[in-house]
Amino acid sequence: MSRTKLVFAATLATLAGGAASLCWAFVHATNASPSPRALLAATVCFLISAIGGIAVMGILRRDCNTLTARLRASDGPLQPAARSLPQGGFAFLQRALTELADSAERAVHDAAFRTKELEVQLKVATAERQHAEAIIYSISDAVLVTDAFDELVLANDAAARTFGFELGAATHKPLDQVLHDPMVIGMIRQARRGEGESSRRVIEHTLHTGTGDRTFKVTLSAVAAPKSAAAPERSAGPAGVVAVLHDMTREKEVAEMKNDFVSMVSHELRTPLASIKAYVEMLIDGEARDVKAQGEFYEVIQNEANRLGRLIDNILSIARIESGLVRVTRQPQSLSVIVKDAIEVIAPQAKQKQIALSEKLTPVFYQTLADRDMLHQAVLNLLSNAVKYTPVGGAVSAEVDVNEAARKVIVRIIDTGVGIPPKDLPFVFDKFYRAEANSRMASGTGLGLSLVKHIIETVHHGRMLLESQVGKGSVFGFELDLCE
């Protein structure tokens, strides 16, 4: 018998059994006494109905099991063979299961596609965040990033050092728990509450740190929140603030130094020019009528011109050294030879003031890697100052010593001059500085010692030495490394 006929017969049996059950229920309800034949017929119909129901349920269970097995065995999209019941199944059940399989397939496909799309978006967002963090961490200026609730979202090492907080523990904490500067906190909050989608403000602020007061240029930028899809024409307000603090303390110091330098140079240049102009005008007016007076005028003009030339040369030399444009030729040099040459140059000036020159030099094989011309200029400046500020009949001594243990060679210029007051000692190497107590004893530009310091420390990485007592004299010197 075919599957269709079997299902049909089982269905009829079920219906017959159901009819017999209804008749039996009616007889029971009317309290009639059923005959033995009727009782037997009802019993037979009931058994046939039960057997037919069991047969129908068995067929349906086998068909569902077959469909489930095919669905589980299918890796890709469902094939038409897997979407249909075995022949003889109910048409409506086949259609329902087919639609269910199609819906499941579409749901699985949509879910897989959406999952991949979200994974890609997450990877892109993570990469962008890591890129932004890398940029912020590489910035030398202090950077603070806050959200709409004034909580710290991101900061770099420079910010942690500037404000003195621990970088890892400060994230996602309120600003007033991380920063201890009310001015900076107020500026960030004010920038977040500012009108408009985005705003940018630049403020100069002095921050009190453990190393002293530092001046910062604070740049505040409010980051606008993304617009909503429901109302794209409206802004959701600032989502946070990015604060960048640039330390401009050194820049301000350099700017002040430049202004002071220009002012001092102008003053120093004006002084010899004024003298030259005055004596030239007197010569033109005929005030120097005899040859002796004219000679004195000419000598003053020559001295002031030489002073002006030295001033310009020193200014140019210092400017080249500070800017790094000076050409340095380093070769093994004997400081004893350089000091001896400088003594020969300064000897006429010392003889004129009856100053005794002496020397105490080491053997020439002790050498240092240096630029000979620069070292000669440095030693000559020190000897010249010693002779200038030593009274008539005094003494100046030049010594070269070697410390083999420390691998150092030391030069000392010792004089019996007027000495330098203690309050002036920290400033004697500053540009244009001259001790007020000794300014009348000798003329000068105030650049000689500054140039010596640049030559020794900036160019040759050595160290300056200074000892002085008022009325007893001074010891100027320097030390350099010996050649290996």
Reply yes or no on whether the pLDDT at 335 is more than 60: yes
Share of the chain above pLDDT 90, in %: 6
Q: What is the pLDDT of residue 444?
A: 64
pLDDT tier for residue 366 given thresholds of 50, 70 and 90: confident
CA distance 30 to 330: 135
Comparison of pLDDT for 94 and 307, the residue scoring more: 307
Indicate whether 82 pLDDT > 50. Answer: no
Domains and their CATH numbers in the chain: 1-138 (no CATH), 139-225+238-247 (3.30.450.20), 253-323 (1.10.287.130), 331-481 (3.30.565.10)
By the 8 A CB rule, do 32 and 63 touch?
Answer: no
Across 450-474, average pLDDT: 88
Which tops the pLDDT comparison, 203 or 75?
Answer: 203
Average pLDDT in the 285-293 region? Answer: 82
Instruction: Report helix angle 36-73 to 91-138, nearest 10.
Output: 30
Name the more confident of 22 and 251: 251
Whether residue 90 has pLDDT greater than 70:
no
Average pLDDT over residues 121-128: 82
Is the pLDDT at 203 greater than 80? The verdict is yes
Look at residue 403 and tell me whether its pLDDT is greater than 80: yes
Q: Which residues are CB-contacts of 248 (< 8 A; sequence separation ≥ 6)? A: 204, 215, 216, 217
pLDDT bin (cut points 50, 70, 90) of residue 72 is: low
From CA 147, how far away is CA 192, in angstroms rounded? 9
75-94 average pLDDT score: 51
pLDDT, one tens digit per residue, over 340-365 is 988 988 888 888 889 898 988 888 78
Q: Is the pLDDT of residue 19 over 70?
A: no
- For the stretch 290-310, pLDDT in tens is 888 888 888 888 888 887 887
- pLDDT exceeds 90 at position 419: no
Q: At what angle do helices 36-73 and 3-30 cross, to 10 degrees?
A: 140
Contact 235, 197 (CB under 8 A): yes
Condensed to tens digits (0 to 9), the pLDDT of residues 38-70 reads: 556 656 655 665 565 566 566 656 665 665 665
The answer to which of 315-324, 355-364, 424-433, 447-456 has the lowest mean pLDDT is 315-324
pLDDT number for residue 85: 46
- Residue 8 in this model has a pLDDT that exceeds 80: no
Q: Is the pTM of this model over 0.85?
A: no
pLDDT at 196 over 50: no
* Distance (Å, whole) CA 261 – CA 308: 16
The two tokens of residue 274 are 């004024």
Q: Looking at residue 200, what is its pLDDT?
A: 81
Over the Cα atoms of the chain, what is R_g?
51
Q: Is the pLDDT of residue 221 over 50?
A: yes
- Name, of 55-64, 89-98, 438-447, 453-462, the range with top average pLDDT: 453-462
Name the more confident of 102 and 149. 149
Q: What pLDDT band is residue 479 in, cutting at 50, 70 and 90?
A: very high
DSSP 279: H
Backbone dihedral region for residue 419 (phi beyond 0: left; psi -120 to 50: alpha; all else: beta): left
Closest CA to 432 of 442, 443, 420, 447: 447
Average pLDDT, the chain: 77
